[in-house]
Amino acid sequence: MNKTSFEQRARELVAKMTVDEKISQMMNDAPAIERLNIPAYNWWNEGLHGVGRAGVATVFPQAIGMAATWNVPLIHKVAVVISDEARAKHHEFVRNNVYKIYTGLTFWSPNINIFRDPRWGRGQETYGEDPHLTARLGVAFIRGLQGDDSVYLKTVATPKHYAVHSGPENVRASFDVSPTRRDLWETYLPAFEASIVEADAVSIMAAYNRLDGDPCCASPLLLQEILRDQWGFDGFVVSDCGAVTNVYKHHRVVPTAPEAAALAVNAGCDLECGSTYQSLAEAVANGLIDVATLDQSLIRLFTARYQLGLFDPPENVPYAQLPFSLNDSPEHRALALQTAQESIVLLKNAATTLPLSKDVHRIAVIGPNADDPEVLLGNYNGTPSHSVTPLAGIRAKLPAAQVDYARGCGVFTNDRSGFAEAVALAKQAEVVIFVGGLSQALEGEEGQQEGLPEGLVTQGDRTRLDLPDIQEELLHALHETGKPIILVLLNGSAVAVNWANDHLPAIVEAWYPGEEGGTAIADVLFGDYNPGGRLPVTFYKSVADLPPFEDYRMQGRTYRYFTGEPLYPFGYGLSYTTFAYSNLVVSAAKPTADETVQVAVDVTNVGQRAGDEVVQVYLSANRSGYPLRQLVAFERIHLLPNETRSLTFALPPTVFHRIQDDGTPVLEGGGFIIETGAIGAKISQKINVERP
């Protein structure tokens, strides 16, 4: 059986439905149609970094942490595990006649928006600020979710939010975005194109905002001209939740619900998360939309349900055989630990402060994130059967040592009552480990309560980049004790830890690391794991370094266009060993317009420890209209001491293209610089691309 036969079955089924029945199936909570043996189905499920909001599941690091691994095969393995658990949980729900939200097989993940500004509260859900890194990880994740069976889909992946969406959160329901054509095609669309053209994503979610005046969920440019005509997409489009309602209530491009619903479906939005599509009956009666257009959307939706095997005997669907015991298995927890380990970025390590000796007798673990299991999880998360906080991980690592703990302060409140206890413990310790950073209270989605105490709602977007004042003040007090302080950050976006960088000997970035975060952090701190994570975002020194948050032009943003001095640059991360690069060879000094350029380089571990290096290849042109630097290839490798690996990267001709103001790609030709290398030891080679 192939997709054509599934589509034919969908076409025959839709033909039997009344208009009201058809409309009922175009909203996320689709009721059963008993006379046609169609069970109820809720299209809304989440799998951002583990099966979300459906009980116990393996919880991996938040997406921004997975991006920090720079490990494409690993992210594919993570997605395979997520889809394994998704299938196992779904069939258990069906066996118990449960068809509610978060029980289906259509997953509204991954979030492949570009994290263009660190103030955006939902940036934690993304793979960072670079289009190439985002595309490679997104493709791997989508393929892992959807499976590799020749007949059936394992799950449906839904890359989101299409397109040009990254805040501000508080006006997302009415905001109009107008990027340059070049920024649209070179920054905001490449990951979406890869998700459709390479990964064959079956679904895509349209964003809340408008793009050049048109709501994204009702944009002929996005949903027809680009998505279907140019990229060949043949799946279904779903709106973000409430986005169709926003078309008339907040964007106000039309005055009524029937007009908004008709506008969205006519543009190609097949499924609504919400209930405004209830007014489609009135839209049909008033001639705003015809039934044939509804049928087109219904056929797309039911084709996907047939591809998932939801209308076939379970014994015919290979994924239906996955046992429920896969969920939260020891093997999956081990992968969560590995992912957390690989996500950790060592930002500073003066005088080889780290790794710490396991012979230490007394340690003070201090800080608001040191023993909070909730902060490990980020948002859009599942529930781990048990989780390991940094404090628990450190105590397990050093069973013979005295490990004292004081919270000291909250993440951002002004209560200083715990300062005295924290300082007293620091004075008695040989070393202080301060675990701070951010939480869902400071960064998240508009209206988010997930990851927060009852009654508290996230601030959403951040207004500043600094560590919260209360934590900074406590760090100063601890520093005055004269004891060495290791700063461990848990957060989902860049933090301007300028004072800490100037005064503390070591800083570790651990993101929201998931259920095994504490174990991974302890492994890094005490040398059982050599950190190899790299930053997927730029760490700026101040919000003053950034253009206005509402400005979607890329000028002055991210490593590709930022002309200032970052605190820590994109792609940065230290190791407990040292790597050297040599023998950079480019296949052609003057490649032709259609020639793939091969880049070869040798990488050697010249230190004393085995470790991971992320080999990064950048392209620059040193002329107007081009990014300052552009990531074009990368690979994470493991090297033993004195081991050398020879790597070759293939750069397609498209990396030398520029997008013109009308959106068309043009090979301008001219000189380029190809660069790679270790921190502080870059090697490069010039080439001259011939114009066609």
What single-letter DSSP state applies at residue 228? I
Nearest CA to 471 out of 487, 493, 460, 458 is that of: 487
Q: Contact 533/344 with Cβ under 8 angstroms?
A: yes
Distance CA 42, CA 181 (A): 37
Burial, 21: exposed, middle or buried (Cβ in 10 Å; 0-12, 13-18, 19+)? middle
Catalytic residue, candidates 443, 461, 509, 515: 443
Distance CA 308, CA 641 (A): 47
Helices 131-146 and 72-95, axial angle in degrees (round to 10): 40
Q: Contact 390/522 with Cβ under 8 angstroms?
A: yes
Q: For 437, phi and psi rounded to 5 degrees?
A: 120, -135
Q: Which amino acid is at 391?
A: L
Q: Residue 649 belongs to what H/E stretch?
A: strand 644-651
Distance CA 284, CA 173 (A): 26
Q: Which amino acid is at 365?
A: V
Distance CA 506, CA 330 (A): 32
Distance CA 172, CA 241 (A): 12
Cα torsion 440, 48, 137, 526 to 10°: value is 60
Distance CA 60, CA 55 (A): 15
Our CA angle for 323, 329, 335, nearest 5°, is: 125
Q: Contact 55/86 with Cβ under 8 angstroms?
A: no
What is the maximal distance between C-alpha atoms in the chain? 79
Distance CA 154, CA 139 (A): 15
Nearest CA to 210 out of 478, 455, 552 is that of: 552
Catalytic residue, candidates 46, 169, 240, 342: 240
Q: What is the DSSP string of 11-28?
A: HHHHHTS-HHHHHHTTBS
Give the three-class secondary structure for 406.
Answer: strand
Nearest CA to 192 out of 235, 241, 153, 152 is that of: 235
CB atoms within 10 A of CB 438: 26
> Would you put residue 625 in left (φ > 0), alpha (ψ -120 to 50) or beta?
left
Q: Contact 26/297 with Cβ under 8 angstroms?
A: yes
Pairing of strands 29-30, 41-42: antiparallel
Structure tokens belonging to residue 132: 């190439």
User: C-alpha distances in angstroms, 63 versus 112, 137, 492, 562?
Assistant: 10, 10, 9, 24
443 is annotated as an active-site residue: yes
Q: Which residues pair with 349 in a beta bridge?
A: 506
Which residues are CB-neighbours of 311 under 8 A, at least 6 positions away?
A: 9, 305
21 is annotated as an active-site residue: no
> Would you put residue 380 in left (φ > 0), alpha (ψ -120 to 50) or beta?
left
Query: Mind telling me the catalytic residues?
Result: 240, 443
